[in-house]
Amino acid sequence: MTDKQSVTGQCLCGAVNLKATKTSNKLHACHCTMCRRWGGGPVMAVDCETEVEIDGQENMSVYDSSEWAERGFCKICGTHLFYRIKESGQYIVPIGLLDGLQDVDFEGQIFIDEKPGYYDFANETDMMTGEQVFAMFANQQH
């Protein structure tokens, strides 16, 4: 299994295309209330680091969802394009948007303390609470 892959993807209508050159093969699910409201369920995404090229930016809108992150979406079809960390420029991209991503390992779940009781994943993964996630990001800032 390779560590990083170059992949492309597009929104539902094809108006926004992206190319990520350093996409992780580690899949994570976010159960936070904001992600579930954004997508109607947990967000299943991969880390694409900072090297993401976007074609069709005129058809894209970005929502400033918190002090530290923003979310991009196609303003024509509404497809969720990314969750981006403002300070680092790191892109977290929904896996369903990406074509040809191979050998993906469902590695972890975050904000497990906000996950509602009406679903569970059968996969055994690492699990972190919201507090643990924020502590991890705080430690990376130093």
Q: What is the CATH number of the domain that holds 109?
A: 2.170.150.70
Amino acid at the residue 68: W
* 3-state secondary structure at position 50: coil
Domain that holds residue 44: 4-140
Please state whether beta strands 52-55 and 43-47 pair in parallel, antiparallel, or not at all (unpaired). Answer: unpaired
**39: phi then psi, degrees, rounded to nearest 5:** -115, 0
* Residue 100's pLDDT band (cuts 50, 70, 90): confident
Task: Average the pLDDT over 35-44 and give the result.
Answer: 95
Q: What is the pLDDT of residues 21-33, one digit of tens each?
A: 999 999 999 999 9
pLDDT score, position 142 = 40
* Residue 141's pLDDT band (cuts 50, 70, 90): low
pLDDT score, position 37 = 95
Instruction: Please give the helix or strand (H or E) that residue 84 lies within, else none.
Output: strand 80-85
User: How many domains are contained in the chain?
Assistant: 1
pLDDT score, position 81 = 98
Q: What is the pLDDT of residues 44-95, one digit of tens each?
A: 999 999 999 999 999 999 999 999 899 999 999 999 999 999 999 999 999 9
Global pTM value: 0.90
pLDDT score, position 1 = 43
